[in-house]
């Protein structure tokens, strides 16, 4: 199951994919207009993530990003960096680190 949420009027997309109710899902961000990035937007995103987690009883939402700004945004509402894949992503002839993040509701391992 997948859910796609449009941010603003085409400023970006939040995608919840591979939703496994009672377990986990993947979160992808595509943000084109940095002018919408602010505290209000962060609260809206956090509310949406919490809503999806509650609705599907998710214990884990994970994401990968090569953008530091997105990593900081996701961390602002509780996600932790689980690892960094150094020089893992290539775009326009440049190599970037890939940040692996997760937001969890359970501490069990």
Within a 10 A sphere around the Cβ of 70, how many other Cβ atoms? 21
Decide if domain 3-104 falls under CATH 3.40.50.2300: no
Which residue's structure tokens are 């400023």?
A: 11
The whole-number pLDDT of residue 107 equals: 59
Q: Which residue has the tokens 């209000």?
A: 40
Q: What is the pLDDT of residues 65-91, one digit of tens each?
A: 988 888 888 888 889 999 999 999 898
User: β-strand 3-7 against 12-20: which pairing, if any?
Assistant: antiparallel
Domain boundaries, the chain: 3-104
Sort strands 24-31 and 60-65 into parallel, antiparallel or unpaired: parallel
φ, ψ of residue 107 to 5 degrees: the values are: -95, 0
Q: Which of 56, 66, 61 is nearest to 27 (CA)?
A: 61
Residue 109 scores a pLDDT above 60: no
């Amino acid at each position: 199951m997948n859910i796609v949420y449009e941010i603003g009027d085409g400023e970006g997309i939040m995608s919840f994919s591979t939703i496994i109710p009672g377990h986990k899902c993947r979160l992808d961000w595509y943000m084109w207009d940095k002018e919408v990035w602010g505290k209000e937007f962060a609260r809206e995103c956090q509310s949406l993530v919490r809503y999806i987690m509650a609705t599907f009883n998710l214990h884990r939402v994970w994401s990968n990003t090569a953008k530091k700004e997105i990593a900081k945004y996701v961390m602002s509402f509780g996600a932790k960096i689980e690892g960094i894949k150094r020089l893992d992503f290539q775009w326009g002839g440049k190599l970037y680190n890939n940040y692996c993040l997760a937001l969890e509701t359970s501490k069990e391992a």
